[in-house]
Structure 1
Amino acid sequence: MRRIFGLALVLVLLAPPAVAATPPGDQPLPGYTIDNPPLPPAQVGGEPSRVLQGVHEHAAYTIEVPPRWNGRLAMWAHGYRGATTVLTVDPPAYGLRQKLLDQGFAWAASSYYANAYDVKAGVLGTHGLAKHFHRLVGKPRDTFVIGVSMGGHVIGRSLEQFPGFYRGALPLCGVLGDQELFDFLVDYNLTAQALSGIRAWPVPKDYLTAVVPRIQAELGLTGVPNERGAQFAAIVTNRSGGPRPGAAPAFTFWKDFLVALAASASGEGLAADPGQVATNALTRYEPNAPVDVNRAVQRVLPENLRARLTPKLTEVPRIVGRPTAPVLSLHGLGDLFVPFSMEQVYQRDVRRNGRGDLLVQRAIRAVDHCEFSPNEVGAAWDDLVTWVDTGRRPAGDRVDDPAVVAAPDYGCRFSDPTAHTVPGNTRRLFPAC
């Protein structure tokens, strides 16, 4: 009996692992559903557009073609969807949908085949849909890509994953600093813990309810920050892009939200827990007084070192800084969800690779994430297209000179003055230009 049991065990161990059946490409992956209701056609010159919707390579998509298509295509790369298992499609925002159609451009947008922080799904889904567009509508003479937030990470990697495929790129509030975004979020919590004297990393289950209130009380963050709280705010400013207009109100606006992100892992796997790649092992914090933070802070290495270092396309991939097409980016000065430092990191990488002539960056005087006006985005789009068509590089802001970035009027050049009067946005946290 024992020999029979042993033989059975050997057979079980030698058997190949069960493989979950993958549905055909016109269906979502297991665990996902699709919500992509019919999109009413837009009116273009008094005529309706042509809208195509469906599922391709497990991702939902929407394509819209104007009545007189100019042969050009703009891909729209959406941002972070969170832990939801419902795949959805966004049309281009900021008035771009109508603007593109009026200019004769077709546009296409993918839900990607997965949610959470899955840049790989965005890179492959956007490229795959662009190829599918060739079969459904026709091969465009050139293809642009526009994206927001995580969609900026998708853009930065797409330009390197598929060199020469895209003719121009417009990342908005983009994660162009790739994994260093998650370093910043780790920095935020670890420096708060070091300054408060309350060490709680990895964060316990009761971090938000029991630990964070103690940290906030120690630093005076529920009212006027004390001396250590002021040092914390200064460190956050320096790590997010340096002294600049709007830094103080930005800290007040974001301080509670950023603490909560330390406990935001939504499941297993890199996409659900992108903080696995984060580290502060070599970070130097300034100012380093009155508390010697560089000595007191807990140092952490990446939980997933392989994901941090691999050049392969992963859910949280590296962007080397080798764009193969003109890139014009917009970024809010006070955005701390995806901080302005992302632009500085990307510029450093691009210049190191000798491709600085392919990058133009613009600072917008806003605090909320991806808070742009249609005028700001529309002007950037027009300038990008002109750049691609004529080779004339448009104007931008310097992001690498601390004195320039700290000037009181920094960000005024490309910020829409009419947005300063719009109720409910954060423009009034800055003095009018």
Structure 2
Amino acid sequence: MTTGTRARTSLVAALLLAATALPASAVAATALTTRVDGRLPSGATYVMEEPATWNGAVLLFSHGYASGPANPAQNAPDDATKALLLQRGYALVGSSYAGTGWAVTDAVPDQLATLSVFTERFGAASRTIAWGRSYGALVTTAIAERDPDRIDGSLSLCGLVHGGVANWNNTLDPVFAIKRLLAPDSDVPLVDIADQAAADAAANTLTAAVDSAQTTAAGRARIALAAALHNIPVWNQPTQTRPAATDWDAQQANQFEAVKSLLKIAAFNRRQEAEARAGGNMSWNTGVDYAKLLGRSSVRKEVTELYRKAGLSLRADLATLDRAPRIGADPAAVAWMSGTSSFTGRLTKPQFSVHTIGDALVPVQTESALKRAVTAAGSGSLLRQAYTDNAGHCTFSPAEQLAALHTLEDRLTTGSWAGTDPASLNSRATKADPTTPTRYVPYRPTPYLRPYDLAHPADGR
């Protein structure tokens, strides 16, 4: 069947479905696109759009973390990128997932079910690519590892590709340092958080401690130490001025806001929701040497300079962390998080993973964790990674996203990776959309500080 014939047939089928659709489904057809909205048996909603001249490729988009109650289905990362993809003939599909939060056990089956609905309505695709941003890239990587027969390749953008256990371990470390060094007398629970009210109270208590600490040189040095344990970059929002390499004060001021955001978003509220799913605390710092972690941090020099400037002993503060009572994990919760949200590194289809270098929420070092797992599993030839010189989480331009997609498509077509270097990616991005930035750069992230994957038996299981 030719592309034109397929498009006409699909459009007619969609119009017929509109007359007989169940109340949970709606079909709209225009001269350019057929859109179908519906609901899966799980309760998740979905949205799919097929352009009138479909190129045969389906892009299965997995959206990021949603805290609810609003939980709309999404089939693209942003409206501008969606418009460009539809113009180029891609069919776009995605679901809401049946639940919000750390909903990987809902997300993966709902995404695959949405893909099945598309095939039933519009016919088989010539190529299917799974892609996602942030938490959605964790969902995408789970699909790539566990259901590779449903896709041809995957694209991860700013993703939690280090997996769930690693994420929650590394989220624990900066908060542990803040409590021990800035609020040692507080009874704030860092794990086993009872409910969202308790999460809010804990976040407010430690945020107040951080705000107070920011007014003194010693406090600022300690905030920088906490930030270093999470690899929070010194330039992490597009609105920030990029600090000079030795402007330690400006660097710390930028991290200060990111530390407060970590406390407000991930460290307590999202942790509480994830713990509820896992059935307990899934992270630990028993056996962790914080001096060694700091030594591997991407911003360790800033910390040592701020401690020196404050006349404060870094060695003494690290000793305080070493002496503090440690936190153990619930083995059953670790098993749940590991089984649902950690990775083996075994790829059977190509994956292209792209990250901004100035990401505080999901630091770029997660890419080091992904490469570590994939290399250990013997799948290194199927993975390529690239980096954009942007501050912020998932602050990609449409041009950058299309360049990544087209590069993966070339790999699927030719069987070989080509054009993954920054110059080639920037050239391709400019051709795809000359109106938005192209910022791919040579970059090699430092190691992820608390890696955990299923390819390394010594990771603490």
Fold in common (TM above 0.5): yes
TM bucket by the smaller chain?
0.7 to 0.9
Query: Does 1:300 find its partner at 2:300?
Result: no
Conservation of the 8 A alpha-carbon contact between 1:278 and 1:302: yes
CA distance in 2, matches of 1:210, 1:362: 38
Q: Judging changes above 3 Å, is the alpha-carbon distance between structure 1 residues 230 and 362 closer, same or farther for their aligned structure 2 residues? A: farther
Structure 1 residue 279 displacement after superposition: 2.0
Compared CA separation, residues 338 and 136, structure 1 to 2 (3 A): same
Map of 1:81 onto structure 2:
66
The percent of aligned pairs where both chains have the same amino acid is 22
**TM-superposed deviation, 1:307:** 3.2
Q: Which has the higher helix share?
A: 2
Is 1:230 matched up with 2:221? Answer: yes
State the match for 2:57 in structure 1.
72
Pairwise CA distance, 1:186: 1.1
Structure 1 residue 329 corresponds to structure 2 residue 353 = yes
SS in structure 2 opposite 1:346? helix
Residues 266 and 273 of structure 1 are in contact (CA less than 8 Å); yes or no, is this contact kept in structure 2?
no
Offset at 1:270?
A: 4.2
Aligned to 2:259: 255
For 1:167, give the aligned amino acid. Answer: D
Assess, with a 3 A threshold, how the Cα gap between structure 1 residues 64 and 413 changes in structure 2: closer, same or farther.
closer
Q: Which amino acid aligns with 1:109?
A: G
Maintained 8 Å contact 1:156/1:323: no
Distance 1:325 1:282, change over 3 A: farther
Flag structure 1 segments of 5+ consecutive residues without an equivalent.
1-25, 28-33, 399-410, 423-433
Q: Who is 1:125 aligned against?
A: 110
Q: What TM-score do the two structures reach when normalised by structure 2?
A: 0.69
Q: Write the distance in 1 (CA, Å) between the matches of 2:346 and 2:390.
A: 28
Q: CA deviation at 1:350?
A: 0.7
For 2:354, give the aligned amino acid: L
Give the CA deviation at 1:325.
1.5
Aligned CA RMSD, in angstroms, stands at 3.6
Check the 8 A contact 1:73/1:140 in 2, yes or no: yes
Counterparts of 1:313 and 1:182, CA distance in 2: 14
The C-alpha deviation readout for 1:61-115, integer Å capped at 9, x for no partner, is 111111122222110101111042x431123124332233233221111111111
- Structure 2 SS opposite 1:91: coil
Q: CA deviation at 1:371?
A: 1.0
Residue-by-residue CA offset, 1:213-234 (whole Å, 9 max, x unaligned):
23542xx32x4x6246325424
- Deviant stretches of 4+, over 4 Å: 38-42, 241-247, 265-275, 310-313, 395-398, 411-422
Secondary structure at the aligned position of 1:195 is classed as helix
CA distance in 2, matches of 1:140, 1:114: 28
Separation (CA, whole Å) in 2 of partners of 1:355 and 1:329: 14
- How is 1:128-277 mapped onto 2 (pairs within 5 angstroms)? 128-179=113-164, 180-196=166-182, 198=184, 200-203=187-190, 205=198, 206-217=201-212, 220-221=213-214, 223=215, 226-227=217-218, 229-237=220-228, 239-240=230-231, 248=251, 250-260=254-264, 261-265=266-270, 270=275, 276-277=281-282
Q: Which amino acid aligns with 1:257?
A: S
User: Which residue identity does 1:278 align to in structure 2?
Assistant: S
Q: Deviations over 1:232-267 (max 9, x none)?
A: 424533542789996936513412111223331587
Deviation per residue, 1:100-150 (Å, 9 max, x gap): 323322111111111111012111111111122121111112210110111
Unpaired segments ≥5 residues, structure 2: 1-21, 237-241, 244-250, 296-313, 440-461
The alpha-carbon distance between structure 1 residues 162 and 87, as it changes in their structure 2 partners (threshold 3 A), is: same
Of the three residues 359, 364, 378, the one matched with 2:388 is: 364
1:376–1:130 Cα change, 3 Å? same
Number of aligned positions between the proteins: 365
